[in-house]
Amino acid sequence: MTVEELALGFEKLLDGKKKVTIISHFNPDGDAVGSSVGLNWFLLERGYSSCIVLPSAAPPFLDFLDPEHSIIYYTEDKKRAKDAVNGCDLIVCLDFNKPGRTEWMSDLLTSAKADKVMIDHHPNAVREGFNIVISDEDASSTCELLFRVLMAFRHTGGRASSLSIKSLSAITAGILTDTNNFNNSVTPYTFNVAAEMLKAGVDFDFLNNMLFKRFSESRMRLMGHLLKESMELDTGTEASCMVLTMEDKKNYGIQDGDSEGFVNLPLMIGNIEISAFFNETEDFIKVSLRSKGRISVNALAKAYFNGGGHERAAGGRLYIPIAQVRDYFRQSLEQFLLNNR
C-alpha cells in the first residue's frame, strides 16, 4: 500500500477517537520532538484531546518547540505518563521502528489497549501490535513523512495552509535537524515540502537561528579541544575516531546534549569516509557513526556497536572501559571492511 492509502486508513482510524497520545523515542531529537509537536497541534486544533509522552528529556535547544511545557516526560512524571498511555483510545508512535526504542516505556507501550499507529522512516519496522504502520525509509525524516501523511488526509485536501503555523514550524524543524539543514537524505520531495512550508509562511530564518546558532561558548571550546586533541584519523580505513570523556564534560561544564553534531565534523575532511564519536556516560558509551555513503554505518552499528539506524547515520552503545574504545573501533571497522568488501 502507498503512503497515501495508509494515510487514509489512519484518518479513518482517527475518526471516532477522542483521546490520542503521541509517543516518540528515548533521547528525543529534533525529528522526534518536531513530529510529535506538529501532530499534537494538528489534533488539538481539530478538537481531539491529545498529548505527547516522551521517555526522556529533549535537549534544551528544542525547548522553543514546546514553550508551554506541555510535553510529558516519563522520567519526570511516571504517573502522568502511564495515565496518558493507558487512558487514550489511540497511540501514535513517531520516529521509531520498534517499541524497544522507547527504553523503559516499552512494556507500557506494548501492553496498552489502545489502537496503535506507527509513522517512521527507519529501516525494518516491527509491525506486530500496530493497526497501521506507515514506514518509508526514503523519507528524509519522520517530519517529512508525517507531512505527506497529513497532506493525504481528505480533511486537509493537500493544502499546507490548512495546518497552523505552529504545526508547520515544528514539522519543518524536524526536517531541518534530521537532514542537517538539507545536507543529507534529501529527495526532490524534501524540497517540495520546504517550498510548501515557505509558501505557507514558515519562518526559516527563525528556525535556523533557533536550531543551529544558539550554542554555548563552552560547547564551541570543547569542540576545538576535541578536534585538536581527540580526533584521530586513519588513512587506511579512511576513518576518524573521536572520544568524549566524562572528564572532558566536567572540565568544560557541558550537558549531555551539547555534543550533538560533533560526529559530523570529521567528514568535512577530504579523505575521511567514516566518522565515529564515542561519548562516555555513567552507564555506557554512547556511539555515533556517520558515513559519506560508501559504507553502511547501519550495518556497522548492528554488527559491532549494539545499535542501528540509517545507512549514513547510525548509533549504538558499548559497555567497555573508555580506554579500550579506540582499539575496539579500529579492530571492528577493519573486520567489517574485510567482511563487506
Please state the closest distance from residue 279 (CB atom) to Mn ion, in A.
Answer: 19
Q: Closer CB to Mn ion, residue 45 or residue 137?
A: 137
- Give me the residue whose beta carbon is nearest to Mn ion: 31
Cβ-contact 54, 96 below 8 angstroms: no
Contacts of 77 (CB under 8 A, 6+ apart): none
Q: Closer CB to Mn ion, residue 194 or residue 241?
A: 194
Sign of CA dihedral 241, 246, 250, 256: positive
C-alpha cell at 255: 550537558
For residues 144-176, b (16+ Cβ closer than 10 Å) or e, as one string? bbbbbbbbbbeebeeebebbeebbbbbbbbbbb
Q: Which of 178, 238, 248, 280 binds Mn ion (CB under 5 A)?
A: 178
Among 141, 145, 140, 143, CA closest to 132: 145
Q: Closer CB to Mn ion, residue 120 or residue 248?
A: 120
Report d(CA 117, CA 35) in Å as an integer. Answer: 14
Q: Closer CB to Mn ion, residue 122 or residue 249?
A: 122
The position carrying cell 579512511 is: 238
With contacts defined by CB under 5 A, name the span among 27-35, 77-85, 191-199, 260-268 that binds Mn ion.
Answer: 27-35
Please state the closest distance from residue 3 (CB atom) to Mn ion, in A.
Answer: 16
Q: Tell me whether residue 218 is exposed, middle or buried, using C-beta atoms within 10 angstroms of its C-beta: 0 to 12, 13 to 18, 19 or more.
A: middle
Report d(CA 248, CA 231) in Å as an integer. Answer: 14
Please state the closest distance from residue 24 (CB atom) to Mn ion, in A.
Answer: 9
Residues 187-246, interacting with Mn ion (CB under 5 A): none
Q: Which of 22, 31, 65, 252 binds Mn ion (CB under 5 A)?
A: 31
Please state the closest distance from residue 121 (CB atom) to Mn ion, in A.
Answer: 6
Please state the closest distance from residue 12 (CB atom) to Mn ion, in A.
Answer: 26
With contacts defined by CB under 5 A, name the span among 55-63, 170-178, 243-251, 295-303 that binds Mn ion.
Answer: 170-178
Residues 239-278, interacting with Mn ion (CB under 5 A): none
Q: Closer CB to Mn ion, residue 173 or residue 333?
A: 173
Please state the closest distance from residue 94 (CB atom) to Mn ion, in A.
Answer: 9
Q: Closer CB to Mn ion, residue 36 or residue 279?
A: 36
Please state the closest distance from residue 243 (CB atom) to Mn ion, in A.
Answer: 25
- What are residue 21's phi and psi, to 5 degrees? -115, 125
Q: Closer CB to Mn ion, residue 31 or residue 258?
A: 31
Q: Closer CB to Mn ion, residue 95 or residue 238?
A: 95
* Residue 280 is a binding residue for Mn ion (CB under 5 A): no
Please state the closest distance from residue 174 (CB atom) to Mn ion, in A.
Answer: 7
Cβ-contact 126, 102 below 8 angstroms: no
Please state the closest distance from residue 245 (CB atom) to Mn ion, in A.
Answer: 28
The CA-based dihedral angle spanning residues 84, 103, 290, 30, taken in that order and rounded to the nearest 10 degrees: 20
Per-residue binder mask for Mn ion (CB under 5 A), 72-101, x = binder: -----------------------x------
- Kindly report the CA angle at 268 between 266 and 272, in degrees rounded to 5? 60
Which DSSP string corresponds to 90-132? Answer: EEEEES-SSGGGGGGGHHHHHH--SEEEEEE-SSS---TT-SE
Distances (CA, A) of 121 to 93, 117, 124, 313: 12, 14, 9, 13
Q: Closer CB to Mn ion, residue 142 or residue 259?
A: 142
Residues 136-165, interacting with Mn ion (CB under 5 A): 141-142
Q: Total residues at the site for Mn ion (CB under 5 A)?
A: 5
Residues lying near Mn ion in the complex (CB under 5 A) are found at 31, 95, 141-142, 178
